[in-house]
Structure 1
Amino acid sequence: MSLPQKDAPSVSVIIPVYNRQDTAIASIRSVLAQSFTDFELIVVDDGSSPPFELPADISGDARIRLLRQQENGGAGAARNAGARAARGEWLAWLDSDDEWLPYKLERQLGFIAANGIGTKRTAIASGFEYRFSDGRREQRIPVPSDDPSMFFSGCWFCPGSTVMLGREAFVEVGAYDQNMMRLEDVDWFARFALEGGELAVVPEPLAIIHLGSRPEFARVKAAGDYLVNKYRSDPRLDRSVRRHLFAYTELEYAASRLKTRKQMIRGAWNLVHSWMLVPRMHLQVCKFWQ
């Protein structure tokens, strides 16, 4: 990855897109509506069929670059492609079914300046609002953390749509694992924590996260098993961190299985097993929100 170029934008916003024409356009428009304007927007079409197209009224915006991947490689591969093309000092992710409030970048950059945060060790998230398919809304303010156990317990801060981090941090931790079609965020931020990284949080909702249906169990199981096997013998993980990882994957399996009657008994066992690994008084493996 090259260093930021002279006269490069401060922020490179990266949106991976796969077969989400309408929602991705809404995501893009939420970036273009930002009060902070010194950014470039890199949209990575991850093998969509038909190919993703920008609407005519914004296709000529010089801040937008559309990259095309010939085959679908997953969100991690698309983010890697966007990061390689990025010119800004800061990287900001946005999933193609989510949106930002107009002052999201302004608030995060103000927080960075006010707290003297550098580009190497800290990722900056924000609060967000869940929007459910039945119309319900719930706001969440994530807790900040530098504890690896937290990062091996889930992505409580919706990193695909709230996080801003320095290009230096991304280079040091390395690219997303392109073998993972799900849970790639958990893996990347787990590695980030093991490298001494920490999460800071702007304590106000700045993103809208649209929650849809859960993926099929087979996809969740494949990603969870890959994650467990990747870190099962990693000497950097102590027993407590490893148990948090196992408890988290069991919770993912339970959530996917409990949505179907045929898998409910096995899903209930996954849930019990998760609680046995990390006893707690709440559903999530850790207390994630303020």
Structure 2
Amino acid sequence: MRFYSVIIPIYNRPQEIDELLESLTKQTYTNFEVLVIEDGSSKKCEHIVQKYADKLDVQYYFKENSGQGFSRNFGFEKAKGNYFIVFDSDCLIPEHYFQAVEDYLTEHKVDAFGGPDKAHASFTPMQKAISYSMTSPFTTGGIRGNKKHYGTFHPRSFNMGISRKVFEKVGGYKITRMGEDLEFSMRIIKAGFKTALIPDAYVYHKRRTSLPQFYKQLHFFGRARINVGRFYEEEVKLFHWFPALFTLGFISLPFWSAVNIYVSMAAYSVYGLFFLINFSSSLAQNKNIHVAVLSIATSFVQLFAYGVGFLTELGRKLVVG
């Protein structure tokens, strides 16, 4: 039986760690420890972690604020497991998670892995709509944890596992924010380690709870892709430009209206078809018209915000390097 170390960085979100730790108490496979790394929070969660001292092998650490990447490194240094698993604090873990990982690693030799994310039944309609847009094949979210991902799988830090050997050879995160998990995954792959998606090792990822928060997060993701390109230029691929083209196209709609009515009608039809496809897909998936309507907004925000962030950081890179 492998021993796993769960690393959870947290910053000013005590309510999230309560729900996450509660979900970990229900695991069918229990050979793991939990390390909660408080990253300089003003709203500490130590009292919540202590609630689970008799239910989990859990340790709490407080450190100065340095960002999630370096906080995970702090946890790696303290961990005792054969494998280290990183969760975001806004995740809920289904009871079969560790058994699914254990079964997969027994059959496959893999040094780094990740799993998909899903919407829990208890999520609000907005959370379900955001989950849809982040996992749908009709938005860029389809490449994040999808069973049929494109190319080599790059684990993401909301649900990521690495072997101790990976940490000993590659080290931890080199950057602490803005694409830190992408850079880490790329370095792991370039070092010759094999990665894999474990479809049954999914988590319920709450993500953001409002459109403004979601916009801010996706804007940051767009910037992060360009930031990772500073380390690995080849990792900014053609399909990463799609949200930027979506954004530029949408902004240019009034211009086409003034230039040519037929071109304008065609352009508006393309965006209308995009929204209709996402509405229909979300309705089929969630069986809820409220979530489907919200999915139109979240799909738009996802692509538009990512595109704005991508173009903003690209401009900054061209100007200052």
TM-score by length of 1: 0.68
The one of 7, 12, 35 equivalent to 1:19 is 12
**Amino acid across the alignment from 1:97:** D
CA contact (8 A) 2:101 2:201 kept: no
CA contact (8 A) 2:244 2:310 kept: no
Counterpart of 1:142 in structure 2 is 147
User: For residues 225-251 of structure 1, what are the alpha-carbon distances to aligned partners after superposition, in whole Å with 9 as ceiling and x for unaligned?
Assistant: 43222234xxxxxxxx3441x753774
Shift of 1:209: 1.2
Counterpart of 2:106 in structure 1 is 113
Counterpart of 2:118 in structure 1 is 129
Counterpart of 1:279 in structure 2 is none
CA contact (8 A) 2:228 2:235 kept: no
For structure 2, the 5+ residue unaligned runs are 136-144, 209-213, 252-299, 315-321
SS across alignment from 2:16 = helix
Greater percentage in strand: 1
Counterpart of 2:140 in structure 1 is none
The one of 161, 164, 167 equivalent to 1:164 is 161
**CA distance, structure 2, for counterparts of residue 211 and residue 58 of structure 1:** 24
The one of 102, 111, 116 equivalent to 2:95 is 102
**CA distance, structure 2, for counterparts of residue 166 and residue 58 of structure 1:** 26
Could you say if the C-alpha distance between residues 77 and 175 of structure 1 is closer, same or farther in structure 2, counting changes exceeding 3 Å?
same
Counterpart of 1:230 in structure 2 is 231
Q: Provide the aligned C-alpha RMSD in A.
A: 3.7
CA contact (8 A) 1:187 1:227 kept: yes
Summarize the alignment of residues 197-236 of structure 1 with structure 2, pairs less than 5 Å apart.
197-204=193-200, 206-212=202-208, 213-215=214-216, 219=220, 223-232=224-233
Could you say if the C-alpha distance between residues 194 and 74 of structure 1 is closer, same or farther in structure 2, counting changes exceeding 3 Å?
same
Summarize the alignment of residues 9-88 of structure 1 with structure 2, pairs less than 5 Å apart.
10-55=3-48, 57-61=51-55, 63-70=57-64, 72-88=65-81
CA contact (8 A) 1:141 1:204 kept: no
**CA distance, structure 2, for counterparts of residue 87 and residue 9 of structure 1:** 11
User: For residues 64-86 of structure 1, what are the alpha-carbon distances to aligned partners after superposition, in whole Å with 9 as ceiling and x for unaligned?
Assistant: 1001112x211101110000000
The one of 236, 240, 248 equivalent to 1:248 is 240
Could you say if the C-alpha distance between residues 219 and 12 of structure 1 is closer, same or farther in structure 2, counting changes exceeding 3 Å?
same
Greater percentage in helix: 2
**CA distance, structure 1, for counterparts of residue 31 and residue 51 of structure 2:** 20
**Amino acid across the alignment from 1:57:** K
For structure 1, the 5+ residue unaligned runs are 1-7, 152-156, 233-240, 274-290
The one of 196, 200, 214 equivalent to 2:192 is 196
Could you say if the C-alpha distance between residues 181 and 90 of structure 1 is closer, same or farther in structure 2, counting changes exceeding 3 Å?
same
CA contact (8 A) 1:125 1:202 kept: yes
State the identity as a percent.
Answer: 19
CA contact (8 A) 2:13 2:43 kept: no
Size of the alignment, in residue pairs? Answer: 238
**CA distance, structure 2, for counterparts of residue 28 and residue 34 of structure 1:** 11
Counterpart of 2:269 in structure 1 is none
CA contact (8 A) 1:254 1:268 kept: no
**CA distance, structure 2, for counterparts of residue 46 and residue 269 of structure 1:** 27
Shift of 1:182: 2.2
CA contact (8 A) 2:11 2:41 kept: yes
SS across alignment from 1:41 = strand
**Structure number, greater radius of gyration:** 2
Shift of 1:205: 5.7
